[in-house]
Amino acid sequence: MTLPLRINPIIDPFGRTIDYLRISVTDRCDFRCTYCMAENMNFLPKKDLLTLEELHRLAATFIALGVKKIRLTGGEPLVRKNVMQLIRDLSHYLETGVLEELTLTTNGSQLTRHAAELAHCGVKRINVSMDTLDADKFREITRWGDLQRVQEGIAAAQAAGIKIKINAVALKGFNENEIPELLRWAHGEGMDLTLIETMPMGEVNADRTDQYLPLSLVRARLSDQFTLADIAYKTGGPARYVMVEETGGKLGFITPMTHNFCESCNRVRLTCTGTLFMCLGQEDAADLRTPLRASGDNDLLMQAIEKAIARKPKGHDFIIDRRTRTPSVSRHMSMTGG
């Protein structure tokens, strides 16, 4: 696929360069994490999903518009049938240098099968979601997950030379007392750890006011055991990092609730149906499937993308409040991609 040249990067109304695209290749997942999904999810009909070829064309168009980093997400991206073909196709842009990074967020369940080929395709780092080191609690929070299988997947990825970062959602009453242990384990295995506040997206058969744990409180507690020093380290995502003196590893905080990260947002999110969300925490979206399928060239598609970025808001409106029990955003995280 030949990329049209673009001289200027795409800029949103607040002067932010949009150079990071997250693509949800599927809304399906082999876990049912209690803060992310309902146990009995109604997934999209497969006929509604873009083909892998269409996702490739969309990604290539965004690259032509200045996107330098692509993250594949889900649901669980590695459960999408033949997804490795898309990854192989996107790896060519790494080889030519027009794409700086191709990475994934995964639950780790499929890594033993795919780690070696991911590394061969130029994937140098991935995020693995893991909220606890207790196998029984892991099964409880994921409903269907097997902790040993995930840890074997992590080992396979590390053996292939892929750098791993662990993502853990901080949940009140569930894993808040395990966070120091999770930190020591991750750093001891050569992995960074990022903690995430639960976000009010989609009905999940649970009260998020009972799950919500502010990371300002978590950091204060960790400071009783560890020496935390703010650092300027960035990966392109929203995390703010500290260096942990006692372990020599990095700890990130993603705080959409207590301290939003919108002022530096360089990201947009594309769903597996061709819907572009300019903000994770807003309902406004743009249909890219129609212009994608309306023409064999990319002019209409580029125009649609530029019009969408021109509507990118300054920030989200997430709120968790006992007076407001309905989610701030009705769609599930698995639909938009993490």
Per-residue pLDDT reduced to its tens digit, 12-39: 999 999 999 999 999 999 999 888 888 8
Query: What phi and psi values does residue 124 have, to the nearest 5 degrees?
Result: -100, -20
Answering whether pTM is above 0.85, one says: yes
Q: Cα-flanking dihedrals φ and ψ of residue 285, to 5°? A: -150, 165
Which residues carry a binding-site annotation? Answer: 22, 29, 33, 35-36, 71, 75, 105, 129, 165, 199, 262, 265, 267-269, 279
Q: Could you read off the pLDDT of 237-267 as tens digits, one per residue? A: 789 999 999 999 999 999 876 555 677 788 9
Residue written as token pair 């499929």: 110
Task: Give the total residue count for the chain.
Answer: 338
pLDDT < 50: residue spans in the chain: 201-202, 204, 318, 320-322, 327-329, 331-332
Residue 213 phi/psi, 5-degree rounding, is -130, 110
CATH fold label, 20-336: TIM Barrel (3.20.20)
Calculate what percentage of the chain has a pLDDT beyond 90: 71
* Contact present, 43 and 27 (Cβ < 8 Å): yes
Please answer whether residues 150 and 107 qualify as being in contact, where contact means their C-beta atoms are separated by less than 8 angstroms: yes
pLDDT, residue 322, reads 45
- Residue 335 has a pLDDT of 54
Residue 123, phi then psi, degrees to nearest 5: -75, 115
The chain-wide mean pLDDT, for the chain, equals 89
Indicate the annotated binding residues for GTP: 22, 71, 105, 165, 267-269
- Known binding positions for [4Fe-4S] cluster: 29, 33, 36, 262, 265, 279
202-239 pLDDT, tens digit each: 454 555 557 789 999 999 999 999 999 999 998 877 89
State residue 201's pLDDT score: 47
Could you say which DSSP state residue 321 is in? B
User: What is the pLDDT at residue 331?
Assistant: 45
328 contacts 20 by C-beta, under 8 angstroms: no
Output the known binding site for S-adenosyl-L-methionine.
Answer: 35, 75, 129, 199
